[in-house]
Structure 1
Amino acid sequence: MGVSVLLIDVDGTIVNSYPGIRASFIHALETIGYPIPSEERLRKVPGPQIYDTLIDLGLPPEDAKHGLQAFRKHYRRHGWHNAALFEGWPELLRTLREEGFTLCTATSKNQDLAAQTLEHLGVGDAFDFIGGADVDAGRQGKAAVIDHVLRTLNIDPTQQRALMIGDRSHDTEGAAEFDIPTILVQWGHGEEAEWNAAYDYAGDISTLEEKIHAFFK
């Protein structure tokens, strides 16, 4: 069956980027004159496309576009480095590489920003490929990013076993388009219904490692 492939989300899975995303999202709404939603709603911002989240909040498409531009500008200047690795990831990534896994990111975050963030946090070189979104290239949404990663690395999930690691339902749904199962981590931004809809879920990094090995056994 070939090598074992892990597709890993970034925000809410590997990286706690919420403080920077939250600040930039609030800045974007203030810039275009829209009210700030509740903290509970703000905690759901990481993961999906920012434009989609703005639309979901009821903004007209044109205002959502302006909001996205304001978010990008602020995040590139101030937000991206306001992030930290969740505990245990450097060790887990090192172990998985030593065991021969092909490690890739599949994130709705801009690909260049994802690479910049992971390199800044000292784990960029753990990945065979850092795959992410590129709105200018028309690559948006989890399924489009996964397709980009698979094509770039010439991975056929029908011939090489692959597993998605994420924290939200869009990770599960995007991977399902390629018949790739998903394990969701519970330290991100998901909820119980999302965890139950995934192939499996893990509440800590040790459990995640165990379930990865069990899947590929």
Structure 2
Amino acid sequence: MRKTKLIIFDLDGTLVDAYAAITVSFNHTMRVLGYPLQPAKVIRRAVGWGDKRLLEPFINVQDLSRALRVYRQSHKIALLKKSRLFSGVPSLLKFLRRKGYALAIASNRPTHFSLILLTHLKIRDYFDYVLCADRLRHGKPHPDILKKIIRKLKVTPEEALYVGDMTIDIQTGANAGIKTVAVTTGSHGSFELTQSRPFLLLGRAAALKKLL
């Protein structure tokens, strides 16, 4: 990975553990709209595609607009109370900055909530560029999100590395021609991730320090 100049990170499940916040907001929404509450493990499996795709399978289509309003209102508060960085993330970001890497975020989470998280957890300033799916026509696994980042930061696909926690991240990297490192701190386990053939599989993002 000597040619690497840019490291792009997914957010949820990769750098940030916001599953408790998502679960609180999700079940608050179900309660308000009169739908059954869901266990945390079911909600965790549904994360990664944005909040609209998170809610859609559990409610009637005519309730989606209201559900999104309720969810997003709750989530602004829940994120501040129940989100944390995974172990080793602050030292990893400091290390990468000292080494001179450009850093970016590519997330299917809406921009507003991504910026709330990054600012609240005091890591926003590490990143040269933050791009979320609501600013694009297509979210992951479409390659647009990664292609726009590398164009913005003026690197080639071969000079970039993408880090994510789901099979959708591996697919996105493959579609963009960018090597993807998968981590097992998110919604998918090592077996599923291995089946999607990442460039590398790590237990957590902080393990990158040993490779760069």
With normalisation by structure 1, the TM-score equals 0.83
SS in 2 for 1:7: strand
User: Do structure 1's residue 86 and structure 2's residue 86 form an aligned pair?
Assistant: yes
Write the mapping of 1:54-93 to structure 2, written as runs, cut at 5 A.
54-57=55-58, 59-76=59-76, 78-81=77-80, 82-93=82-93
In structure 1, the residue matched to 2:192 is: 194
Q: Are 2:55 and 2:64, in contact at CA under 8 Å, matched by a contact in 1?
A: yes
The residue type equivalent to 1:42 in the other structure is: I
Instruction: Specify every segment of 5 or more residues in structure 2 that has no aligned partner in the other structure, as ranges.
Output: none
In structure 1, the residue matched to 2:149 is: 149
User: Do structure 1's residue 128 and structure 2's residue 151 form an aligned pair?
Assistant: no
1:22 deviation in Å?
A: 0.9
Output the CA distance in 2 between the equivalents of 1:151 and 1:37: 40
In structure 1, the residue matched to 2:181 is: 183
The residue type equivalent to 1:195 in the other structure is: L
Describe the shift of the 1:206–1:151 C-alpha distance in structure 2 as closer, same or farther (beyond 3 A): closer
In structure 2, the residue matched to 1:171 is: 169
Describe the shift of the 1:204–1:49 C-alpha distance in structure 2 as closer, same or farther (beyond 3 A): closer
Q: Are 2:110 and 2:134, in contact at CA under 8 Å, matched by a contact in 1?
A: yes
Describe the shift of the 1:4–1:113 C-alpha distance in structure 2 as closer, same or farther (beyond 3 A): same
1:102 deviation in Å?
A: 0.9
SS in 1 for 2:108: strand
1:10 deviation in Å?
A: 0.9
SS in 2 for 1:43: helix
With normalisation by structure 2, the TM-score equals 0.85
Q: Are 1:106 and 1:132, in contact at CA under 8 Å, matched by a contact in 2?
A: yes
Write out per-residue CA displacement over residues 10-60 of structure 1, whole angstroms, 9 at most, x where no aligned residue: 111111111111111111222222212233212223322222233334x34
SS in 2 for 1:34: coil
Write out per-residue CA displacement over residues 38-89 of structure 1, whole angstroms, 9 at most, x where no aligned residue: 33212223322222233334x343333332222112112x122121111111
Output the CA distance in 2 between the equivalents of 1:122 and 1:6: 19
Q: Percent identity?
A: 26
Number of matched pairs: 207
SS in 2 for 1:109: coil
In structure 1, the residue matched to 2:9 is: 8
Moved >6 Å (runs of 4+): none
Q: Are 1:107 and 1:142, in contact at CA under 8 Å, matched by a contact in 2?
A: no
Write out per-residue CA displacement over residues 138-171 of structure 1, whole angstroms, 9 at most, x where no aligned residue: 45445343244234334442xx511110111111
In structure 2, the residue matched to 1:112 is: 112
Q: Larger deviation: 145-154 or 178-187?
A: 145-154
In structure 2, the residue matched to 1:30 is: 31
In structure 2, the residue matched to 1:41 is: 42
1:205 deviation in Å?
A: 4.6
SS in 1 for 2:119: helix
1:94 deviation in Å?
A: 0.9
SS in 1 for 2:12: coil
